[in-house]
Structure 1
Amino acid sequence: MEFPVDTVVRDKKILYDGCFKQGYDVVLGWNSVLQFLKHIPNDTATLVITSPPYNIGKPYEHRVEFKDYLEWQRKVLKRCIDILSPKGSLCWEVGNYIENGEVFPLDVYFYNIIKKEFGLHLRNRIVWHFGHGLHASKRFSGRYETILWFTKKDDYIFNLDAVRVPQKYPGKRSYKGPNKGKPSSHPLGKNPADMWRIILRDWEKELWDIPNVKSNHPEKTIHPSQFPIELVERLVLALTNEGDVVFDPFVGVGSSIIAAILHNRKGVGVDKERQYTDIAFERITKALKGTLRKRPLGKPVWRPKGTEKVARTPPEWNARARTHTKISEWVKD
């Protein structure tokens, strides 16, 4: 496709270029992140949100020494914090770095950088749970990543009512005290942080169950580690107001910008891979025209009922299970 592009779609001004310019609803950059960040004025973005490369050898990343990776991320973070407004939030979504079979939880390293070196305030360590991924053979399969939500100051934007979800027991009433007999739930719904599966009590309020983008997901593109739009939407609604700027320093195929423009925010993002930014431009255009396929915000995760063919136990497994049972009984005897 042509590059650069300066156009208007449904009254929204879009710039697809190598550097940032003000006066647009969407600025999509094809450039290195540090070069692009040089052109963004301080205090521009209300929300900086991304999932950075994990340095694990994905097709779009060049693997380097872990200490060099962290130093590069430190430089990116410093500039991202500079462009963050005083009431703004930084959301850094990460998984694990794995080397020689050993797991290094990236959120621990990023906490030390963002909190201890740059002085931001951690508001939540959100656990994003998903059901699909690679199956490990020498450890438990990883099925979660974490979102570190930091704020620049103690006075920050947080719109809880914008992201409440339906109550599990809306008819529940207080059984004692001054509110006895009155509904005990919030009329607009509960805090979405109450979604959990099997997790320790201390973490229950910070686990979100949202499908990751795999082969049958309606948003799937060629990107191997694609952000679900729904994940970003919840953070955009909670941590920004209409008209605010949302910035993604590793925008990939544009999910963060799409989440922003769908809710009347401005979206800015950059990526060094031209094949991804071209796709991002197409997806952003479709989102503005209302033709982009996406998973609806708040849609429940599909659970098999047990009657589907894929949910039934294969007959060969039953035979194996019977053999295993006989061996187990023999060992016990």
Structure 2
Amino acid sequence: MSKYKYILGDSLKAIKKFKDNTFKLIITSPPYNVGKEYETKKSIELYLEEQNEIIKELVRVLHTNGSICWQVGNFVDDKEIFPLDIFYYQIFKDNGLKLRNRIVWQFGHGLHSSKRFSGRYETILWFTKTEDYTFNLDSVRIPSKYPGKRHHKGPKKGQYSSNPKGKNPSDIWEVLLNDWEKEIWNIPNVKSNHVEKTEHPCQYPIELVERCVLALTNENDWILDPFAGVGSTVLASLKNDRNVIGIEKVKKYRDIGVKRVKEFDDGSLRFRSIGTPIYDHTKSKLSQIPLEFNNNESLRSI
């Protein structure tokens, strides 16, 4: 049975107590410095300096064959966008890690902007410590678009050109009608109508973590989330027979996470499983263009 710990406290202090080369995967979504209730907004320079201290310790405790997945969005200051993944890239490089993928997670819902295009994506930076890292491609393959396609010339003429287990998914994870059906992965963000929604304002879905857990670790490996929130990483790890430690400084979020783990253990936790179809909004009456929109007079009031 998988083991887990859910530590309440400061991430940096907790990480310093761990042994070197412990965790096969470190995956998290750190505070974005946007002034949420669990963070104090500060200058981008000070924010990154503090994150660098934590990252140095994370690199120390990362297994030689391990990976770090760092999921971030944008920092906004005085209506100007600062793409955090670009700033973080140099920090990880300075700490000796190598970037394997910059994964774009695209979702269909969020706040609407009036002075710029509405933001609908975040990124996951996947770094490794060495060239010898765990990568289980077969665990995350998706069906080929043309599985019956054959080579039409050369020494393999007449042979199937696709892998019978499916193909390597792309580095863009987007909303589609069916999960794992095409090359772009379908992962909706956690908003008010999502089955996993709690009171945490920046909760990410279990299956977003699950893809990384399956590909970058093996059963019984140890996983760490230094900003665990309400437990998406903890749950994705336990669900796939991995050991995990989550660290969260806000007691109410940690308590929600512990409660969700107990619900998972007794089978009552509601979560969106991989393979669940996305709601087809085109069938809703709300998706139909109102007849009033054909009236120019009505449009002037919008």
Residue identity matched to 2:48? L
Offset at residue 299 of structure 1 (A)? 3.0
CA shift at 1:303, angstroms? 3.4
Aligned to 2:223: 246
Which of 39, 45, 63 aligns to 1:85? It is 63
Please give the alpha-carbon distance, in whole angstroms, between the structure 2 residues aligned to 1:174 and 1:285: 52
Question: 2:239 and 2:9 mapped to 1: Cα distance?
Answer: 25
- Give the Cα–Cα distance (whole angstroms) in 2 for the partners of residues 191 and 173 of structure 1: 18
Which residue of structure 2 lines up, in the alignment, with residue 101 of structure 1?
Answer: 79
DSSP 3-state at the match of 1:192 = coil
SS in 1 for 2:75: strand
Structure 1 residues without counterparts, runs of 5 or longer = 1-10, 13-24, 199-204, 325-333
Residue 312 in structure 1 maps to residue 288 in structure 2 = yes
Q: Label 1:66 to 1:267 Cα distance change in 2 as closer, same or farther (>3 A).
A: same
1:129 and 1:208 in contact (8 A); partners too: no
Which residue of 230, 233, 236 maps to 1:256? 233
Structure 1 residue 164 and structure 2 residue 141: aligned?
yes
Give per-residue Cα distances to partners, 1:153-209, cap 9 Å, x unaligned. 0110000000111222222222222333332221111212265679xxxxxx99644
* 2:178 aligned partner: none
Q: Look up the match of 2:271.
A: 294
Q: Deviations for 1:86-108, whole angstroms, at most 9, x for unmatched residues?
A: 00001111111111111110001
What fraction of aligned residue pairs are identical, expressed as a percent?
A: 52
For structure 2, which runs of at least 5 residues remain unmatched after alignment? 176-181
* Secondary structure, aligned partner of 1:141: coil
Of residues 136, 159, 169, the one that matches 1:182 is 159
Relative to structure 2, which stretch is displaced further, 205-214 or 230-239? 205-214
**Worse-superposed segment, 309-318 or 122-131:** 309-318
**Does residue 5 of structure 2 align to residue 27 of structure 1?**
yes
Give matches, 1:262-273, under 5 Å: 262-273=239-250
Distance 1:298 1:177 in 2: 37
Number of the residue aligned with 1:328: none
Contact in 1 for aligned 2:173/2:187 (Cα 8 Å): no
For normalisation by structure 2, the TM-score amounts to: 0.91
Match of 2:21 in 1: 43
State the 1:139 CA deviation: 0.5
Write the deviation string for residues 24-43 of structure 1: whole angstroms up to 9, x where unpaired.
x1010000111111221111
Q: Among 274, 277, 294, which residue is 2:254 paired with?
A: 277
1:256 counterpart SS class: helix
Letter in 1 for 2:29: S
Alignment-mate amino acid for residue 72 of structure 1: E
Give the count of matched residue pairs.
294
Q: Aligned pair in 2 of structure 1 residues 321, 40: CA closer, same or farther (>3 Å)?
A: farther
Letter matched to residue 45 of structure 1: F
Task: Give the RMSD, CA atoms, in angstroms.
Answer: 2.1
Preserved contact between residue 220 and residue 226 of structure 1 (Cα < 8 Å): yes
Superimposed CA distance per residue, residues 283-309 of structure 1 (whole angstroms, 9 cap, x where no aligned partner):
1122233321111113343333x3420
* TM-superposed deviation, 1:256: 0.3
The letter for the 2-side match of 1:135 is H
Q: What is the SS of the residue equivalent to 1:48?
A: strand
Distance 1:59-1:292 versus aligned 2 partners, 3 A rule: same
Q: Distance in 2 between matches of 1:160 and 1:288?
A: 28
Alignment check: 8 A CA contact 2:108 2:188 kept: yes
Q: Counterpart in 1 of 2:95?
A: 118
**Aligned equivalents of 2:257, 2:298: Cα separation in 1:** 51
Match of 2:198, SS? Answer: coil
CA distance in 2, matches of 1:239, 1:49: 10
Q: Distance in 2 between matches of 1:159 and 1:125?
A: 18
Separation of aligned partners in 2, 1:220 and 1:277 = 15
SS of alignment partner, residue 170 of structure 2: helix
Letter in 2 for 1:308: S
Q: Is the 8 A contact 2:104 2:122 kept in 1?
A: yes
- In the aligned structure 2, how far is the partner of 1:206 from the partner of 1:82? 34
Q: Which has the larger radius of gyration?
A: 1
Q: How far is the alpha carbon of 1:65 from its aligned partner? A: 1.6
Name the aligned partner's letter for residue 262 of structure 1. K
